[in-house]
Every structure is written in structure tokens, then in C-alpha cells.
């Protein structure tokens, strides 16, 4: 999915006063890093339709896991699958933004790079579905068998 280009950063005119960066302790830098990370998560959730779809699907998977009383290990597998799809989707977003930034006009290699990144997300989503089938399948089968 193509992103709208970010507005260009205006150049700092020569001689303009620069605000000196305040020296930060290592602890302050560490804490500030969390702010940047949450900002990136927020950006992805606000701008990426597929990530919002994955949020809904991941939430449904967690609810189904609770209803079916899956084990702790099975929940760990589901959380790994959900997180893997999110990470792949976010890397896909990074790739698309970097490509759009480096080549604003159409470029066939840019298309290939975006397609490959999207393919990686698709492959990860397929893996998540397979994990879901292995985890939920026996529980759903047992539920159906005991109720019908």
C-alpha cells in the first residue's frame, strides 16, 4: 500500500540560530526511546489499514483462545504468530516509506521491492493461520464433538 509522501523538511537558512540539544543522561535517552517506539506504533495503527485488520483478527484469536481455554504454551504460540505478523507489517511500512522517500516517481525496481516486502507479510500471515489451525483445530473439534 503506497503512503502519501511526507512534507519536505525546510532547510535551515544559513546563519539561523540553532537550538542546542540539551545533554541527556543515558537513562533519559533510554526512556525517550520508548516514546519514539510508541510514536512509531501509533503511526502504524493510524495510517496502515492492514495493521488495523490484524489488530481485529489478533483480538479475535485471543478471545477464541480464552473461550476454548487453550494452554499457556498454546497462547504463547498464538502471541508469537500475532506479533510476527505485526512486525512484518511494520517492516513493510518502513520499506514502503523509504522507497517512496528515495524515489518519488514510478520506478519498476521500487515496485519489485514493495511487492517482495508485501509478499513477506503475506507469507507470515499464512504461517500465522497455520499456527492458528494447529492450536485451535483440536479444541474446536473437541468442542463440536462434545456438543453435537
Residue 7 is predicted with a pLDDT of 67
CB 128 within 8 A of CB 85: yes
Residue 148 is predicted with a pLDDT of 84
Name all domains of the chain by residue range, CATH numbers in brackets: 44-147 (1.10.287.3610)
The catalytic residue positions are 89
Q: Please give the angle made by the CA atoms of 51, 53 and 55, to the nearest 5 degrees.
A: 70
Mean pLDDT per 10-residue interval, the chain, length 148 residues: 66 61 81 92 95 97 97 98 98 96 93 97 98 97 90
Give me the DSSP letters along 4-57: PPPPPPPPPPTTPPPPPPPP--HHHHHHHHHHHHHHHHHHHHHH-HHHHHHHHH
Q: Helices 26-47 and 72-102 sit at what angle, rounded to 10 degrees? A: 80
Residue 10 is predicted with a pLDDT of 63
Amino acid at each position: 500500500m503506497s503512503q502519501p509522501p511526507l512534507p519536505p523538511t525546510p532547510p535551515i537558512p544559513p546563519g539561523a540560530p540553532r537550538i542546542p540539544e540539551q545533554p541527556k543522561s543515558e537513562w533519559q535517552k533510554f526512556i525517550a526511546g520508548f516514546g519514539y517506539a510508541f510514536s512509531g506504533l501509533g503511526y502504524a495503527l493510524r495510517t496502515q489499514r492492514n495493521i488495523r485488520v490484524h489488530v481485529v483478527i489478533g483480538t479475535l484469536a485471543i478471545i477464541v483462545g480464552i473461550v476454548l481455554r487453550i494452554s499457556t504454551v498454546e497462547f504463547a504460540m498464538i502471541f508469537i504468530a500475532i506479533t510476527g505478523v505485526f512486525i512484518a507489517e511494520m517492516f513493510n511500512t518502513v520499506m514502503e516509506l523509504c522507497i517512496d522517500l528515495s524515489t518519488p516517481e514510478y520506478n519498476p525496481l521500487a515496485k519489485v521491492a514493495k511487492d517482495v516486502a508485501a509478499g513477506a507479510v503475506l507469507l507470515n500471515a499464512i504461517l500465522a493461520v497455520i499456527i492458528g489451525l494447529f492450536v485451535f483445530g483440536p479444541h474446536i473439534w473437541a468442542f463440536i464433538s462434545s456438543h453435537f
